[in-house]
Amino acid sequence: MTPILPTRACRNHPARPGLGVCPSCSSVVCEECSIRVDGILHCRACQVSAVAAPDRPRWRSLSAVLPALVLLPVAWGAVTLLLQGLAGALALVGSWLREAG
């Protein structure tokens, strides 16, 4: 019989239908690749990395260092430019009011 609802394939086993979605990595996993903790289904990879490698989260910010170094000055400049633009617009209104008054 054809299933009523089409199912998503497991991330690790494309031939198998997925059992659920891991709340940590959002990937679809089958029964073999999943584990239930407190009634909530997780993928084994996330669960293993959370239990066996508690230091991993310390390093996951490393990929953000270079983009942060590039984007921070850009955002800094953008904010400064916007504020100066705002002040410039105020100056324009001020000079217009002085001329009118």
3-state secondary structure of 39: coil
Binding mask 14-33 for other proteins (x = CB under 8 A): -------x-xxxxxx-----
96 phi, psi to nearest 5 deg:
-65, -40
20 phi, psi to nearest 5 deg:
-170, -175
**Integer angstrom CA distances of residue 44 from 11, 24, 49, 53, 68:** 12, 11, 8, 13, 31
- Alpha-carbon distance of 74 to 84, in angstroms, equals 15
CB of 55 to other proteins, least distance (A): 10
Residue 88 touches other proteins, criterion: CB under 8 A: yes
Binding mask 35-74 for other proteins (x = CB under 8 A): -----x-----x--xx-----xxx-xxxxxx-xx--xx-x
CB of 15 to other proteins, least distance (A): 18
Which residues are near other proteins by CB under 8 A? Answer: 1-8, 21, 23-28, 40, 46, 49-50, 56-58, 60-65, 67-68, 71-72, 74-76, 78-80, 82-84, 86-88, 90-91, 93-95, 97-98
